[in-house]
Structure 1
Amino acid sequence: MSKQVEQEFKTLLPATTAEQLLTQITFQPPFTQTNRYFDTVNHQLKVHHFGLRTREFADHAEQTLKVPAGPNRKLIEYTDAIKGADLVAGGAVEAQLSQAGIALADLQLIGQATTTRYLAPQPAGLLTLDHTTYANGHDDWELEMEYTDIAVAQAFWQQLATDFAINLLPPENKIQRAIDNVNKSQG
């Protein structure tokens, strides 16, 4: 079990801008993850502004609950190691859901996506470029900057936007994008 504070900037990018970033910034070798997103029938996680997902990597899996903790997309993430893609009882995620009056048994799959992730540590924070493909075949590119010092990160983020002509608009979160791109046979 882990608990961490996450602060980040995010924006969606056209594929051409993502390709420029990949050629002009040194990213670590990419890896792929499959995300599955959950909520209750009556959308209790959305009501609480929570996000719940499982992630499957090549060699491990985890479940993460994101809980709002302040302005500027500040979140607390509760993460438990799991085996496979199904939610697991008994960890920090279930404890936090229980405090909010949400039972693990009431959760259902609402969307999924596969992401190829590129990471580039920077002095200002961790720069992440995600290429995500959704259940219906739609895909998008998202640029993210996780940081601890907002002033340093904001200066870097703004310079990056200027250098690559990026229109910085906060995107819908990946959970909502996955829901919006559910394959008709899943819905």
Structure 2
Amino acid sequence: MSIAREQEFKAMITATQATQLQAHYPFAAPFTQTNRYYDTQDQSLRQLGWGLRIRQFTDHSEQTLKIPAGPHRQLLEYTDPIANGELAAGGTVAAQLATVNITLSSLFCFAEATTTRRLANLPAGLLTLDQTAYPNGNQDWEVELEYSDYALALPFWQTLQRQFGWRNAKPKNKIQRASENVN
């Protein structure tokens, strides 16, 4: 079980921009994860601005609840390891859901996506490059800089934008994109 504060910059980019970025930075070997997204029938989590997912890797699974926590895309992330790839009671995620009277039994999987992720640890933060594929055959590319020092990260992010030519527009989050690409 873990609780983390996440701060990040994000942008949607083209496949060409992704290839250029990969050639320019020392990304580690890619890995794949499948994300399944959950909400109640009346979209209680969405209305709160919260996001709940299960991430399945080749050797383990985890459930994560993301809750907005401030400016500059700050989020609190509650993550619990799970054994069978299903939502599990007894951890930090279920405890946070209980604070707003949401039970695990009221949740259902409404979307999923498979992401190939590349990571590069840089002085300004963790640079992430995601290629995400959806069940309907669509795919997209997203770049993210997760940081702890805003004053260091901002100029680096602005340099990336200029260097690789992407615009400074707030992208839809992965949950929104997955729900728009259901098969």
Matches within 5 A, 1:108-123: 108-123=108-123
**Cα shift readout 1:87-115 (whole Å, capped 9, x = no counterpart):** 11111000000001111110000100000
Please name the residue that 2:34 is paired with.
34
Q: Distance in 2 between matches of 1:84 and 1:11?
A: 33
Q: Which residues of structure 2 form unaligned runs of 5+?
A: none
Q: Distance in 2 between matches of 1:168 and 1:16?
A: 17
Residue 53 in 1 paired to residue 79 in 2?
no
Q: Distance in 2 between matches of 1:69 and 1:168?
A: 21
Identity %: 55
Please name the residue that 2:131 is paired with.
131
**Cα shift readout 1:6-64 (whole Å, capped 9, x = no counterpart):** 00000000111001111121100000000000000000000111000000001111000
* Counterpart residue type for residue 17 of structure 1: Q
Residue 99 in 1 paired to residue 106 in 2?
no
How many aligned positions are there? 183
Q: Is this contact kept in 2: 1:37–1:53, CA < 8 A?
A: yes
Q: Report the CA distance between 1:86 and its aligned residue.
A: 1.2
TM-score by length of 1: 0.96
Q: Which residues of structure 1 form unaligned runs of 5+?
A: none
Please name the residue that 2:152 is paired with.
152
SS in 1 for 2:89: coil
TM-score by length of 2: 0.98
Moved over 2 A (4+): none
Matches within 5 A, 1:82-93: 82-93=82-93
Please name the residue that 1:81 is paired with.
81
Q: Distance in 2 between matches of 1:13 and 1:156?
A: 17
